[in-house]
Amino acid sequence: MAPTNQAAWLDKAGSPLDVRDAPMPYPGPGEIVVKNAAIAINPLDTHMQDAGVFVQQWPAILGCDIAGEVYEVGEGVTRFKKSDRVTGHAINLTTGRPQDGAYALYTVVPADKAAILPDSISFTDGAVLPMALEAAVCALSVSVPGEALPGVPTPALGLPYPSLDENKPAGKALVVYGGSSSAGSMTTQLASAAGIHVIAIAGKHNFDFAKLAGAATVIDHKDPEVVSKAIATVRESGLDFVGIFDAISTPPTYAHDLEILEKLGGGHLAAVHPPPATGVPENVNAGMIFAVNDAATPVWRDYVTPALETGKLQCLPKPLVVGKGLGSIQGALVKMREGVSAAKLVVEL
Ligand SMILES: NC(=O)c1ccc[n+]([C@@H]2O[C@H](COP(=O)([O-])OP(=O)(O)OC[C@H]3O[C@@H](n4cnc5c(N)ncnc54)[C@H](OP(=O)(O)O)[C@@H]3O)[C@@H](O)[C@H]2O)c1
Tens of pLDDT along 287-299?
999 999 999 999 9
| 297 domain-assigned | no
Contact by Cβ (8 Å): 218, 198: no
Q: What's the mean pLDDT when you consider all of the chain?
A: 97
Q: In angstroms, what is the span from residue 131 Cα to ligand 1's centroid?
A: 13
| 300 domain-assigned | no
Q: In angstroms, what is the span from residue 308 Cα to ligand 1's centroid?
A: 23
pLDDT at 157: 98
- Domain encompassing residue 219: 133-288
Cis peptide bond N-terminal to 276, omega within 30: no
User: Given the CA of residue 177, which atom of ligand 1 is nearest to it?
Assistant: 33
CA–CA distance, 326 with 153 (Å, rounded to integer): 36
- Asked whether residue 71 falls in the same domain as residue 174, the answer is no
Query: What are the pLDDT digits (tens) for 188-198?
Result: 999 999 999 99
- Helix residue ranges per DSSP H, the chain: 43-51, 92-95, 123-126, 130-141, 182-192, 207-212, 226-237, 251-263, 297-298, 304-310, 329-338
Query: What are the pLDDT digits (tens) for 36-79?
Result: 999 999 999 999 999 999 999 999 999 999 999 999 999 999 99
Q: What percent of the chain has pLDDT over 70?
A: 100
- Asked whether residue 121 falls in the same domain as residue 137, the answer is no
Interval 139-160 mean pLDDT: 95
- Asked whether residue 162 falls in the same domain as residue 83, the answer is no
| 137 domain-assigned | yes
Number of domains in the chain: 2
User: Given the CA of residue 252, which atom of ligand 1 is nearest to it?
Assistant: 31
Q: How many CB atoms lie within 10 A of CB 166?
A: 8
Query: What are the pLDDT digits (tens) for 231-282?
Result: 999 999 999 999 999 999 999 999 999 999 999 999 999 999 999 989 999 9
* Ligand 1 pocket member 182 (CB < 6 A): yes
- Asked whether residue 139 falls in the same domain as residue 251, the answer is yes
Q: In angstroms, what is the span from residue 2 Cα to ligand 1's centroid?
A: 41
| 236 domain-assigned | yes
- Confidence band of 2 (pLDDT split at 50, 70, 90): confident
Which residue, judged by its Cα, is nearest atom 48 of ligand 1?
A: 272
* Ligand 1 pocket member 291 (CB < 6 A): yes
* Ligand 1 pocket member 320 (CB < 6 A): no
User: Given the CA of residue 132, which atom of ligand 1 is nearest to it?
Assistant: 6
Contact by Cβ (8 Å): 106, 71: yes
* Ligand 1 pocket member 245 (CB < 6 A): no
Cα angle vertex 194, ends 189, 197, to 5°?
75
Query: What are the pLDDT digits (tens) for 292-327?
Result: 999 999 999 999 999 999 999 999 999 999 999 999
- Asked whether residue 332 falls in the same domain as residue 215, the answer is no
CA–CA distance, 230 with 200 (Å, rounded to integer): 9
Residue 167 reports pLDDT greater than 90: no
pLDDT at 202: 98
* Ligand 1 pocket member 183 (CB < 6 A): yes
* Ligand 1 pocket member 221 (CB < 6 A): yes
pLDDT at 1: 80
Q: In angstroms, what is the span from residue 136 Cα to ligand 1's centroid?
A: 13
| 51 domain-assigned | yes
Query: What are the pLDDT digits (tens) for 170-228?
Result: 999 999 999 999 999 999 999 999 999 999 999 999 999 999 999 999 999 999 999 99
Domain CATH number, residue 197: 3.40.50.720
- Asked whether residue 40 falls in the same domain as residue 75, the answer is yes
* Ligand 1 pocket member 213 (CB < 6 A): no
- Asked whether residue 278 falls in the same domain as residue 146, the answer is yes
- Confidence band of 166 (pLDDT split at 50, 70, 90): confident
- Confidence band of 23 (pLDDT split at 50, 70, 90): very high
Identify which of 113, 226, 248 to mutate to test ligand 1's pocket (most ligand atoms within 8 A of the CB).
248
Q: In angstroms, what is the span from residue 65 Cα to ligand 1's centroid?
A: 16
- Asked whether residue 96 falls in the same domain as residue 152, the answer is no
Q: In angstroms, what is the span from residue 87 Cα to ligand 1's centroid?
A: 22
| 322 domain-assigned | yes
* Ligand 1 pocket member 185 (CB < 6 A): no
| 294 domain-assigned | no
What sign for the dihedral angle of Cα 94, 308, 144, 267? positive
- Asked whether residue 213 falls in the same domain as residue 284, the answer is yes
Q: In angstroms, what is the span from residue 248 Cα to ligand 1's centroid?
A: 5
| 308 domain-assigned | no
Interval 123-144 mean pLDDT: 97
* Ligand 1 pocket member 316 (CB < 6 A): no
- Asked whether residue 112 falls in the same domain as residue 209, the answer is no
- Asked whether residue 246 falls in the same domain as residue 197, the answer is yes
- Confidence band of 332 (pLDDT split at 50, 70, 90): very high
* Ligand 1 pocket member 270 (CB < 6 A): no
